[in-house]
Amino acid sequence: MTDLNEAFGAVPVLAYTDHERYGPTVHRSVPEWIQREVTSLRVQAGHRVLEIGTGSGYSGALLARLCGPRGRVTSIDISEELINRARAIHAERGVTEIDCHVADGLAGFPTAAPFDRAVGWCTPPRLPRTWVEQITDGGRIVASLPIAPLPSTALITTITVDAGQPRVQAVVGGVYAQSTPAPVDDAVTVPGRWVDYCDRQPDPSWIAISWRTEDPHNSGARAALDRLLNPGHTETYGDMEADWRSWSAHTAAPPDPGLSMVSLRNQIRGIGHTTATSAAVILTDGTIIADTPDSASLTVLREWLILWQQAGRPTADSFIPRLVPNTSIDCPGGDLQLAVPADAVPASRAAIPQPRAGRVEPA
């Protein structure tokens, strides 16, 4: 059996991410994250592993090393270019325990099933039923799963499958790019799923709202984005960057109907509350922007921030996760939902930073 540290040391990252002949690829994940997810997967010699999202090929090489000659890795990606690139590098390095195929990741790869393990390097709309059905009893899945119908609002989730039923074992902070039905050069600047309105000039700005069923023509989303691009009120809350994942998870436990996310001029993102007539978000730099000083959404956002502070800015693993069945036609499976523990101890209200009102700044 190959030791994890031995495998991490034996597979050179740059051979896949920045190959001398095939060049660099942007379709890569942080090596430390890959190693974290592979560790959670608990691959053993002889295992059959399904990899959804071939990417640079580095993660597939790690999995092949861990499976050994008695195991097999099936790696699938929607991009033929990435598949051909990974195949060539694997062949050059003598990696023979892996098969790479062009395929839709949401469908898994039934012709090579069943699998002992599955890992997803992209974020599907939910845990696909097809992945669960292709896992052996006692098998394991590690994937980035949404916790709200908004881009980038997801957690890395470890799941075990027993008697065909998936059960969440652990969640940690982190998110991978959304899965796409066709190859795209950039799945991050403007996500392909759950963006309700996008203003592409001069640089892309977009908004995602949880109340999209009440906004069939996207006019409310457009108005909310315009309010945030031209805010009538700003205030400084405090440092948010270090705890952004905590804030993202807490606002989705469970998500409020007004929960919304924005990206402004492809420079900064924010999470907050919007309605058809009001909007307020806190940005990753700790700035709060709103349509007006007495905005109804601003009142809600401030209440959320107080509750988050009282909960002690909890990490992802502090929440109670569960999978809720979803029979959606496009991707039936399980929605990951979070709950705040009943015994969460509030922090002192005196420790809650008080926002400082600021001048109105131009968009």
In the predicted structure, residue 355 carries a pLDDT above the cut 70:
no
Q: Which residue has the tokens 């640079």?
A: 56
With 0.75 as the threshold, say if the pTM is over it.
Answer: yes
Chain CA centroid to CA 143, Å: 9
Q: Token digits for 137?
A: 């009893």
Average pLDDT over residues 304-324: 95
Backbone phi, then psi, for 270, in 5-degree steps? Answer: -145, 155
Distance, in Å, from the CA atom of 338 to the CA atom of 355, rounded to the nearest integer, reads 28
Helices (H), the chain: 4-10, 14-17, 31-41, 58-67, 80-93, 129-133, 219-229, 244-251, 296-310
Return the axis-axis angle of helices 296-310 and 244-251, rounded to nearest 10°.
110
Taking phi over 0 as left and psi of -120 to 50 as alpha, with beta for the rest, 194 belongs to left
Q: Token digits for 281?
A: 């978000």
Say if strands 18-19 and 279-283 run parallel, antiparallel, or are unpaired: unpaired
Distance, in Å, from the CA atom of 41 to the CA atom of 276, rounded to the nearest integer, reads 43
Structure confidence at residue 239 as a pLDDT band (50, 70, 90): confident
Count of C-beta atoms within a 10 Å radius of residue 193: 17
Which residues are identified as catalytic? 29
Looking at residue 265, its pLDDT comes to 94
In the predicted structure, residue 361 carries a pLDDT above the cut 60:
no
Q: Residues 181-189: contacts with CB within 8 Å, 24+ apart?
A: 181/78, 181/104, 182/78, 183/78, 183/79, 183/80, 183/81, 183/82, 185/26, 186/26, 189/263, 189/266
Structure confidence at residue 2 as a pLDDT band (50, 70, 90): low
Q: Token digits for 265?
A: 């001029």
In the predicted structure, residue 1 carries a pLDDT above the cut 60:
no
Distance, in Å, from the CA atom of 345 to the CA atom of 342, rounded to the nearest integer, reads 9
Q: Residues 168-173: contacts with CB within 8 Å, 24+ apart?
A: 168/321, 168/322, 168/323, 168/336, 170/40, 170/317, 171/316, 171/317, 171/319, 171/321, 171/336, 171/338, 172/36, 172/316, 172/317, 173/245, 173/246, 173/249, 173/315, 173/316
Q: Token digits for 122?
A: 């992209």
Q: What is the dihedral of CA 200, 240, 209, 316, to 10 degrees?
A: 130
Closest among 253, 248, 249, 251 to 339, alpha carbons compared: 253
Helices (H), 290-349: 296-310
Chain CA centroid to CA 82, Å: 21
Average pLDDT over residues 219-241: 96
Per mean pLDDT, which range of 72-86, 107-121, 171-185 is the poorest?
171-185
Boundaries of every domain in the chain: 4-173, 197-312+347-358
Please state which architecture CATH assigns to domain 4-173.
3-Layer(aba) Sandwich (3.40)
The string of pLDDT tens digits covering residues 16-51 is 988 888 878 877 788 899 999 999 999 999 999 999
Structure confidence at residue 344 as a pLDDT band (50, 70, 90): low
The string of DSSP letters for 199-214 reads E-SSS-EEEEETTGGG
Rounded CA Rg of the chain = 22
Chain CA centroid to CA 277, Å: 29
Name residues whose C-beta falls within 8 Å of residue 334's C-beta, 6 or more positions apart in sequence. 126, 127, 129, 132, 166, 323, 324, 325, 326
